A and B are shown apart, each in its own frame.
Chain A
Amino acid sequence: MADAATAIAALADPTRRQIFERLAAGPRPVGELARGLAVTRPAVSQHLAVLKTAGLVKDQAEGTRRIYEIDPKGLGTIRAWLDQLWDTALLSFKEEAERPKEKRSKEKK
């Protein structure tokens, strides 16, 4: 049961993050992903399996190869969206909460 082992945890590993970043440029086969990395191809496959379990990437067969790509339905996407949303909203909230009383544009009581 991989509950708290989240998408974020899956990306805490630097090699996995590197692989994920490469996939951000577009779908790639395993061999191409492994090129230039300091780990073996089987290790890359293993990292991809973790990313797939976390719902971050998906794969499909193309002939004898497997092509990996970022899964747009992955929950990581929703996290990134909410992360950005709340960052923006809270900064704006802080600004308003710290605004001196006389400068408030709309005082609603």
Chain B
Amino acid sequence: MSTTTIRPAPVRKSITVKADAAHAFEVFTARIGSWWPRSHSVGSSPQKNVVVEPRAGGRWYEIGDDGSQCNWGKVLAWDPPSRLLLAWQINGDWKYDPSLVTEVEVRFTALADGETRVELEHRNIERFGDKVESMRTAIDSEGGWTAIVKLYAEAAERTA
């Protein structure tokens, strides 16, 4: 039996931004190309822009310098300004894989003083399953196991 029965907890992140929910939602979606780290790119050509189509059933994808489009996945739910649900269909090799569907849910909660709490949950990560073999190289290039152990330690403390 090669599959594991371990179901890992989702990756959860949250951050508070000094902006109202509508603005935070707009920046997250309509202007994703202005903040998405360029190093995290799927296409063979350098990343020029990232697009989240503003409707459930739409796609999200990147556009390369040469105009080529590379899918990242589908838009599963579109509820501005409070909630966005994306299908993350990129595997550990930074390749679009239509057979892989993991979910990224982003919630925008207005706080009292005009700030917005943005909570992100990346779930179903067990579905990456056996697709992660070549991840070792990717991870090693970003600081190696020492960095991973550190991340583990931090994550463990957060969830303790």
Contact = CB atoms under 8 A, between A and B. Distances in A.
Nearest to B25: A97
A73 B13 CA distance: 24
A77 B106 CA distance: 23
Interface of A: 1-9, 11-12, 17, 20-21, 24, 53-55, 70, 72-98, 104-106, 108
B13 A86 contact: yes
Contacts of A73: 130, 132-133
Contacts, number: 154
Interface stretch (B59-67, B72-80, B140-148): B140-148
B11 A97 contact: no
A108 B52 CA distance: 13
Interface of B: 4-9, 11, 13, 15, 17-19, 23-24, 27-28, 30-31, 33-37, 40, 92, 118, 120, 122, 125-126, 128-130, 132-133, 135-136, 138-139, 142, 145-149, 151-153, 155-156, 159-160
B99 to A, nearest CB: 16
A86 B152 contact: no
A82 B35 contact: no
Given A76-B152, A108-B31, A81 B139 contact: yes
A90 B139 contact: no
Nearest to B37: A88
Contacts of B7: 3-4, 6
